[in-house]
Structure 1
Amino acid sequence: MEDFFETHQLLRTLGKGRLGTVKLYKSSADPATDLTSYKAVKVIKRNDVKNSSMASRIFNEKKALAVVSPNPYTLSLGGTSKDEEHLYFIMSPILAGPIHKHFRAEVNGRFAYTRARFYCMNVISALLFMHGKGFVHRDVKASNVLLNESGYAVLADFGYAKNICEAEDGSRGEAKPTFTFCGTLHCMAPEVLQRKGHGFKADWWSLGIFVYEMMTGRPPWGYGVGGVEREQLERDIVSGEVAFEDGIFEGVGRSGRAFIEKLLVREEEGRMGSLEEFQGETFFETGEWKEKEGGGEGGEGGASFIEIGGEPPEFNREIGDLDVLEDLSGVAGGSEAFGNAFDGF
């Protein structure tokens, strides 16, 4: 990374997550108007990696990013690097901010039906591609869906992603349930919460929560902040009813309700989760799905790339970090925790 830091300028910090900080850099040799000159670098301090489980998550994130990068509705990984104190993920930056900041900035604190539908289709494309490569995301939520400079939704944060189709010899096998309790509670599928074992269908439950939140401005059972609220949220995930306000889910919104209800099915077997099912939904009757050949790693049986047609909705360009493309006035001029744990990173 030494060469990278010599040829790139630090512009600003884009965000800080559970493990790592994302910073925006620009190539010193390229003009500010060239988007390819910008890179988002996720920096992880080795000393923050406290155990082998956290180290495994970092490797899983790298593997997931490597296979989903050909899809335009996911983060694109340019490479990884490391030094004695840090690990680095180098990615294409997504600068228009997370979805939740956009719907909360709307007059009613929520998106119109057509706008929510468009972003939903973007995320469906990302998840179908990811699942086709054997990976489950396990943390689909509004704050992990970003808007890019063109107005498309991009699925981010693959820290909980896992390949559930990888056989012991490294080849692709059948999907096997995984039992890790992970994700964000208000978007967590019942089978994850109850530790019954989960697979790809857990992501589709989370998508249902995400779509509901875009259309109403809040998740169906709240965020579970505080002990009492958390306990109630856990009960609601397992057995609570979803309230659909007439003012939002009447008229054209009825198809949105029907779609959400087919995602928030507590038994995995009855929950929708295929392209054919999505294409048959009234919610998407005017949507454009264009199937293209997939790419990248992942072995045989790789996913097709689903391109979403139509123009992206207009959005508030003052949200996020798009201003950096026009105003560059903010340009600013350890030890290993597990020995060889990151060999091959």
Structure 2
Amino acid sequence: MASAAMHKLLHPHRSREENHPGQQNPASSHERQDSAGMERVREEEKHNLMQWEEQKHPLAPGQIQNQEQKHVGYSSEALRQEDFELIKTLGTGTFARVWLVRVKNVNNGDENKVFALKILRKTDVIRLKQVEHVRNERNVLASVAGHPFITTMVASFQDYDSLYMLLDYCPGGEVFSYLRRARRFNEPTSQFYAAEIVLILEFLHEQQGVAYRDLKPENILIDAEGHLKLVDFGFAKKVENRETYTLCGTPEYLAPEVIRNTGHGTAVDWWAFGILVYEFLVGQPPFWDQNPMKIYEQIVEGKVRFPSAMSEDARSLISGLCTVDTSKRLGNIQGGAGTVKAHPWFRQIDWEALYYRKVGGPIVPHLRGPADTRNFDEYEPEPANREKYTKEMSDKWDEHFRDF
């Protein structure tokens, strides 16, 4: 976080007095000081990025909550895109592109300290009416930075036409890819991954009041040690005890209350978690059809059909989670996530050891090194002629992006 000294460097006092002819212009002197000060801050931040890569470790829930003491999740006024070498595109969306990057001009031995840099063009964010989602994503990621199983937003920053989120890099790629290759996960593997997700949802719901709202295998990455990292917080929203009505998510994972538009809260994540556990064990979600409307009909009906080979404990857990009545849904009833953690299907899990990453992951990716990208697809280069961010847009929208 920016120290008091750094704050002064970033926000120096400017003289408002007019200069008389013949006097030295104090503004130019201030500008030189500003520039030198900002350069010092910038170099210090780049140095700290290299240190963080060596020191990163899970923070206790109380430490994550303390924004002043943790050194991640901050908004930087010094970092710029040109501080990073763009190595390869890791993913693209309708208004964002994620790059594998390394900090430029680093010391020997630091070349393998890489990050993921999410770049969002302001024009696209505005055109696609995603301003509120992007702000939610940035602010939620800042508040949860340091959790062992959520992608760490180390810093965010912006320039005239783009927004940036600097994230830790997960070289293992998507859980979805491993699941498709394996067809289904065995019960111990499914239990391990499911347990890490329980710890994520417990923290988001009970410490942050946040509904994630897009739980699916494509949004879960595997890191170098074989642990999960939840990514893409574009639909995440701080709801606390209120209900929200935005229709968002992926058809097979939508909860009945989202489809009915009766208002929803964090309970939607426990429904999606039940669908996810089913997909881990079976290889496909329980509600499926080529026609999304048919999927919605099946979800609202809420009848899960289990294969005969599935264990009784697994059926019991999924049935408790995929309950149409939210007042009876496991995870949403009194006791919250504790009721899920206490379920017999998780009887082998040591929750504290798991949280602090003392238990090895069941699938450890084979990697050539920290910057290996073999688990990510190839993407087309960015289109050359992009819509410009105009002064009119800047005047209207820059206030909305001040959090960055």
TM-score, normalised relative to structure 1: 0.81
Compared CA separation, residues 267 and 310, structure 1 to 2 (3 A): same
Q: CA deviation at 1:110?
A: 0.7
Which residue of structure 2 lines up, in the alignment, with residue 294 of structure 1? Answer: none
- CA offsets 1:113-149 (integer angstroms, 9 cap, x no match): 1101111111111111111211110111110111111
Local SS of the residue matching 1:278:
helix
Percent identity for Structure 1 against Structure 2: 27
Q: Does 1:118 align with 2:180?
A: no
Local SS of the residue matching 2:172:
coil
CA-atom RMSD in angstroms: 2.5
State whether residues 135 and 403 of structure 2, in contact with CA within 8 Å, keep that contact through their aligned partners in structure 1: no
State whether residues 189 and 362 of structure 2, in contact with CA within 8 Å, keep that contact through their aligned partners in structure 1: yes
Partners of 2:107 and 2:225 in 1: CA distance: 21
Q: Does 1:285 align with 2:360?
A: no
Which residue of structure 2 lines up, in the alignment, with residue 170 of structure 1? Answer: none
- CA offsets 1:171-209 (integer angstroms, 9 cap, x no match): xxxx11111111111101000111111111110000111
The runs of at least 4 aligned residues of structure 1 exceeding 2 Å deviation read: 1-8, 30-35, 50-53, 305-310, 314-319, 321-325, 336-341
Which residue of structure 1 lines up, in the alignment, with residue 18 of structure 2? Answer: none
Which residue of structure 1 lines up, in the alignment, with residue 257 of structure 2? Answer: 191
Specify which of 216, 235, 255 is matched with residue 160 of structure 1: 235
Which residue of structure 2 lines up, in the alignment, with residue 103 of structure 1? Answer: 179
- CA offsets 1:13-67 (integer angstroms, 9 cap, x no match): 11112431111101241556776x2111111111112359410111100111011
Which residue of structure 2 lines up, in the alignment, with residue 330 of structure 1? Answer: none
Q: 1:182 is matched by which residue type in structure 2? A: C
Which residue of structure 1 lines up, in the alignment, with residue 218 of structure 2? Answer: 143
Structure 2: which 5+ runs fail to align? 1-76, 375-387
Compared CA separation, residues 148 and 54, structure 1 to 2 (3 A): same
State whether residues 88 and 100 of structure 2, in contact with CA within 8 Å, keep that contact through their aligned partners in structure 1: yes
Q: Does 1:54 align with 2:124?
A: no
- CA offsets 1:278-316 (integer angstroms, 9 cap, x no match): 23211111111118xxxxxxxxxxxxx944652211345
Specify which of 281, 301, 304 is matched with residue 239 of structure 1: 301
Compared CA separation, residues 3 and 198, structure 1 to 2 (3 A): closer
State whether residues 144 and 155 of structure 1, in contact with CA within 8 Å, keep that contact through their aligned partners in structure 2: yes
State whether residues 78 and 90 of structure 1, in contact with CA within 8 Å, keep that contact through their aligned partners in structure 2: yes
Which residue of structure 1 lines up, in the alignment, with residue 325 of structure 2? Answer: 267
Q: 2:159 is matched by which residue type in structure 1? A: D
Compared CA separation, residues 307 and 271, structure 1 to 2 (3 A): farther
- CA offsets 1:139-174 (integer angstroms, 9 cap, x no match): 111101111111001111100111113xxxxxxxxx
Which residue of structure 2 lines up, in the alignment, with residue 72 of structure 1? Answer: 148
Q: CA deviation at 1:240?
A: 4.3
Which residue of structure 2 lines up, in the alignment, with residue 201 of structure 1? Answer: 267
Compared CA separation, residues 316 and 217, structure 1 to 2 (3 A): farther
Partners of 1:3 and 1:157 in 2: CA distance: 22
State whether residues 151 and 313 of structure 1, in contact with CA within 8 Å, keep that contact through their aligned partners in structure 2: yes
Which residue of structure 2 lines up, in the alignment, with residue 295 of structure 1? Answer: none
Local SS of the residue matching 1:78:
strand
Which residue of structure 2 lines up, in the alignment, with residue 83 of structure 1? Answer: 159
Local SS of the residue matching 1:97:
coil
Local SS of the residue matching 2:352:
strand
Compared CA separation, residues 322 and 105, structure 1 to 2 (3 A): farther
State whether residues 96 and 322 of structure 1, in contact with CA within 8 Å, keep that contact through their aligned partners in structure 2: no
Partners of 2:360 and 2:326 in 1: CA distance: 34
Higher relative contact order (CA 8 A, sep 6+): 1
Local SS of the residue matching 2:165:
strand
Local SS of the residue matching 1:158:
coil
What is the aligned residue count?
A: 304
1:252-331 → structure 2 map (5 Å cutoff): 253-273=311-331, 274-290=336-352, 306-307=355-356, 309-317=358-366, 323-324=372-373
Q: 1:311 is matched by which residue type in structure 2? A: G
Local SS of the residue matching 1:323:
coil
TM-score, normalised relative to structure 2: 0.70
Compared CA separation, residues 269 and 240, structure 1 to 2 (3 A): closer
